[in-house]
Chain A
Amino acid sequence: MSLQFVVNKPRGPLGWWIMVPILGAAVAALWWSALGTHLSISGFIDGLPWIADFIGRMLPPNFAFMEKLLKPAIETVQIALWGTLLGIVLALPVCFFAARNLSPYAWVFHGLRQVLNIMRGINEIILALIFVAAVGLGPFAGVLAIALHGAGMLGKFFAEAIEEIDEGPLDALRAAGAGTLQRIVFGVLPQVLPAWIGVVLYRFETNIRVSTVLGMVGAGGIGFELISSMKLFAYEDTAACVIVILVLVLAADLMSSKLRAMIR
């Protein structure tokens, strides 16, 4: 059997030589970053015993502590639920104007996309710090942080789903003399709803994951127990927290993938 190498030569006058500067630049960037981050194999190997020691201290997990974790775990889910819902409420009115094909003016579309970018660009933990300062310690700050960041995410994904619809039915609605509300309800929503539900479920799953760490900055949920147990060197309790967090995240993951499969 004879083999033939079927790859097009890169276009441009340099041909294959174009790969030399590209690979050179990539290697240089990685080398530079390795220096900046003190990347070191020996450092990692030297640290292995300490990691083993840490895991050793976490064992056996303090299962009795889990009883105390029930309330914060429920709170974590509650934060994710309301954070997701408020995110949807914020994103819904915006997304129609942030979709290129429905937005009445180009500047409205570009402006709103930038607003959504900014909302999305700030990490939930940073937002949580701000909201803790505003409304005080506790889960409500976490809800607001997740809602704001989530609105930026949902707004973008909602708008992108709208941009992908078949515009034929919208033409048909226009030709039949339908108004704007009717065009959205009968032309846009039926087409985007499956995609939107998928995005919301994925967002809820992500929010569960995020709300497990919000407690570290005092914004409610199970993260508070995690960080306090570490500060008290009660590593068996830490292990219990990690297990509960894993169960939460896996359950959310499983539920959302099952539900998403059901829509299709």
Chain B
Amino acid sequence: MIEIRGLAKSYGDHPALCDVSLSIRPGEFVVVLGPSGAGKSTLLRCINRLIEPTAGDIVVDGTSLSSNRRDLRLLRRNVAMIFQQHNLVKRLSVLKNVLVGRMADLSPILSSLQLFPEADVKIALHCLEQVAMSHKARSRADALSGGEQQRVGIARALAQQPKFMLADEPVASLDPKTSRTVLNYLKKSCKESNIAVLCNLHQIDYALEFAERVVGLSGGRVVYDGAPAGVSGDVIRSIYPGLDDPNVLDAAQRLTERRRAAAEAEAVLAVEGRA
């Protein structure tokens, strides 16, 4: 269980994040929607303290983790991150990039000498398998396509064996087909290991397709927190103020209805199955 309590961040007088509180159950797939500049990235980066928040607590399994060295190590070990630009080290092999996820548990001296415990290499290879990239383990990271690089990014995050995963617009620079593949791998592999995911997205359709819960962020505040089925045209208008594109609103409405219908059909099937 990850709890974010009263998280706030301001740059000078400008508040980027105001009093955000969320609690996320183990294994839950949560998508954060919001316009550019709403504070989505700031929220994620405040959670693992790549940005130091102005106020608020991050509570992992009941323990509040502050910014001292010991807590920070514990926090970063439990919380993994996936980046928009993959942030792989291009000249290193895929396997070594995934081993970066193990760094917190490894001896700094031995790992710097490129010596890794066999168990950790095994974990890294297993994580590559989860995203179907084990055949490229020895390739250099910059030899991969954008989608493959992001799958390695997911494997690196999985290698941390975290409780919680932050994904900062993981598909923003990928084409629609590749985006779907990557999101599928992300969701599937996190489900396998019961890892909770907090994922920033720009695409409303993907959010409604993949999310189990949607958090709408606007102007640094949570304006919606609930099921994707509840994301109506009004909700979208409150998340994206000033958005009056009827196409987007219609599409969202249709997707929501389709999802609701699918859920109802499933329920009916389940009932029939029992009968």
**Residues of A participating in the B interface, judged by any CB pair closer than 8 Å:** 166, 168-169, 171-179, 181-182, 185-187, 190-191, 193-194
B100–A176 CB distance below 8 A: yes
Contacts of A166 in B (CB 8 A): 87
> Interface residues of B, CB < 8 Å — how many?
31
Q: Does B109 contact A (CB under 8 A)?
A: yes
B112–A173 CB distance below 8 A: no
Q: In the complex, how many angstroms separate the beta carbon of A173 from the nearest chain B beta carbon?
A: 6
A-B contact pairs, 5 of them (CB 8 A): A168-B86, A172-B100, A178-B103, A181-B112, A186-B92
A175–B108 CB distance below 8 A: no
Which of the segments B12-20, B27-35, B72-80 contacts the partner chain? B72-80
A182–B50 CB distance below 8 A: no
User: Quick one: given A168-B87, A186-B96, A190-B92, are A177 and B73 in contact (CB under 8 Å)?
Assistant: yes
User: Quick one: given A171-B50, A172-B156, are A178 and B100 in contact (CB under 8 Å)?
Assistant: yes
Contact of B50 among A169, A174, A178, A187 (CB under 8 A): A174
Q: In the complex, how many angstroms separate the beta carbon of A188 from the nearest chain B beta carbon?
A: 9
Contacts of A178 in B (CB 8 A): 100, 103-104
A186–B76 CB distance below 8 A: no
Contacts of A179 in B (CB 8 A): 103, 108
Contacts of B96 in A (CB 8 A): 186
Q: Does B251 contact A (CB under 8 A)?
A: no
Within 8 A of A (CB), among B65-102: 72-73, 76-77, 79-81, 83, 85-92, 96, 100-101
B87–A169 CB distance below 8 A: yes
Nearest 9 A/B pairs, CB to CB: A177-B104, A177-B76, A168-B87, A178-B103, A172-B87, A175-B81, A190-B91, A185-B112, A181-B108
Within 8 A of A (CB), among B218-245: none
A182–B81 CB distance below 8 A: no
Q: In the complex, how many angstroms separate the beta carbon of A99 from the nearest chain B beta carbon?
A: 17
Q: In the complex, how many angstroms separate the beta carbon of B219 from the nearest chain A beta carbon?
A: 25
Of B73, B111, B153, B160, which is in contact with the most chain A CB atoms at under 10 Å from its CB? B111
